[in-house]
Amino acid sequence: MSDDTTHFGFKQVRVEEKAKQVGKVFDSVASSYDVMNDLMSLGIHRLWKRVAIEYLAPRTGHKVLDLAGGTGDLSLLIRPRIGDSGKLVIGDINHAMLAVGRDRLIDKGASDVPVMRMDAQKLPFAENSLDRVIIGFGLRNVTDKDAALAEMRRVLKPGGRALVLEFSKPVFDPLAKIYDLYSFKLLPKIGKFVAKDEDSYRYLAESIRMHPDQHTLQSMMEQAGFDEVRHVNLTGGIVALHIGFVR
């Protein structure tokens, strides 16, 4: 891979084109994203997100960024934990996903949570200004993951923590084979039937395969300056939580 190209699924594209291509994917799937998440994970994504919030451990009064927060699932779990003295922001680069998230939050009575369009590689927050940052199923779509991790580290206060919830690499070979079959054969067909978009869900499957494995991502977080980085495998490594602290 040359310096001016990057992965878009299994394809090579110019760096400046990836964000545009990813944007098209999420413009297409935004309205059906939550239904597809249930179908893709058999509903288990809801449990993964609850476990993630336990490890994130937001507290009363905390300032929290839900990065790539999309349709607001994680924010709805965070909001009751930080109380009225806390501050929660949903950040996402995609307008369509933010619109879905904004409407959902309003419907669920959390209209005080602002949604902001932002690039994970250039966060609009001061250094040492946030207590928690979480990015759920979003890091694999970022062009420069090292830059995004460095930004998450930059904006966190001492005592803060970041959590990355992302699809990862199954740790058992039989599970990996079954998961590959599901991801590349069945998932795009489900996308075609439910979301009328086979290509976008093929990209989503490919993006999972191109994402760094558990140990590589842990090393990337350490290089970004996080302390005591560790990961926790969920559902046999299909998903992993990566937690980094700021001392």
Mean pLDDT, range 115-132, rounded to an integer: 97
Closest CA to 68 of 11, 152, 159, 126: 152
pTM of the model: 0.91
pLDDT, tens digit, 9 for 90 and up, residues 25-80: 777 778 787 777 787 787 899 999 999 999 999 999 999 999 999 889 999 999 99
Q: Looking at the domain that runs over 5-172+201-245, which CATH code has it been given?
A: 3.40.50.150
CA distance 136 to 133: 10
pLDDT, tens digit, 9 for 90 and up, residues 154-180: 999 999 999 999 999 999 999 999 989
Amino acid 62: pLDDT: 98
Tell me what the pLDDT averaged over the chain comes to. 91
Q: Which phi-psi region, left, alpha or beta, contains residue 229 (left: φ > 0; alpha: ψ -120 to 50)? A: beta
Domain range summary for the chain, segments of one domain joined by +: 5-172+201-245
Confidence of residue 8 (pLDDT cuts 50, 70, 90): low
Task: Report the Cα 246 to chain-centroid distance in Å.
Answer: 20
Angle between helices 45-56 and 73-82 (to 10 degrees): 30
Task: Report the Cα 10 to chain-centroid distance in Å.
Answer: 19
Please give the residue that has the higher pLDDT: either 186 or 221.
221
Q: Which phi-psi region, left, alpha or beta, contains residue 211 (left: φ > 0; alpha: ψ -120 to 50)? A: beta
CA distance 241 to 210: 17
